[in-house]
Amino acid sequence: MDLENQAAIKSIADEVGSENLMVVLGMPGEGLRLAVETLTTGDPSWAGPLAGVSLGLPVFHILEEKVRAQVPEDLYADKLLMMEMVLDLEQIESDLASMRAAG
């Protein structure tokens, strides 16, 4: 996860408290795994502002069923439908499930 995004999220968490913050991601695969790890247990590369900082934030993917159900239909068709075709939804859901199970 790039250092600027880490800094931005850390600054928001400091301001509003990590209990009042959740993060919705858009990337799949290894990028998703690294971002989840960075936002929960800390930056695994030990290079960014979240190195050694365990924010423990709830993390979701925009295309998870329970998240996308919150998006109005017309907005979904305009902004997300194509990405739904591009990304492997089942893989994303199963990656997140296993990461959540691992705590």
Partner 1 sequence: MTAYLRAAANVLVHVPDLVRYGSKPWREAVRKEHAPGDSFNDLRSFDEIVGYPPNQAFIGNLPPEKLSGIPTPWYENSLAGASPESQFGEILPQDAFYALLEAADQFGLIMFDEERRLPGVMGSESAAALLEGQKNSKDYKQEDIIERIERGEALPLFQEGGLIGCVRRDHDADESLDARILLENLAAKASGAYALSRLLVGEGIAPEQVDYVISCSEEAVGDRYNRGGGNLAKAIAEMAGCANAAGVDVKSFCAAPVYALVHAAALIQAGVVENAVVVGGGSMAKLGMKAYFHLAKGMPVLEDVLGGVAFFLTKNSDDGPRVNLKIAGRHASGKPSTPQGLAEALVRDPLARAGRKISSVDKYAVELHNPEIMLPAGAGDVAAANYRMLAALAVMGGEIAREEIPDFIEAHGMPGFAPTQGHIPAGVPFLGHALERMRAGSLASTMILAKGSLFLGRMSQQADGASVLIEV
Binding stretches for partner 1 (CB under 8 A): 27-35, 45, 79, 81-83, 85-87
Smallest distance, partner 1 to C-beta of residue 78, A:
9
State which residue, 44 or 56, has the beta carbon closest to partner 1: 44
What's the rounded Cα separation, in Å, for the pair 17 and 44?
22
Smallest distance, partner 1 to C-beta of residue 79, A:
7
State which residue, 24 or 81, has the beta carbon closest to partner 1: 81
State which residue, 5 or 16, has the beta carbon closest to partner 1: 5
State which residue, 16 or 82, has the beta carbon closest to partner 1: 82
Burial (CB < 10 A; 0-12, 13-18, 19+), residue 5, is: middle
Smallest distance, partner 1 to C-beta of residue 44, A:
9
Burial (CB < 10 A; 0-12, 13-18, 19+), residue 79, is: exposed
Smallest distance, partner 1 to C-beta of residue 33, A:
7
CA distances from 73 to 27, 66, 78, 92 (A): 21, 14, 9, 21
What's the rounded Cα separation, in Å, for the pair 31 and 17?
25
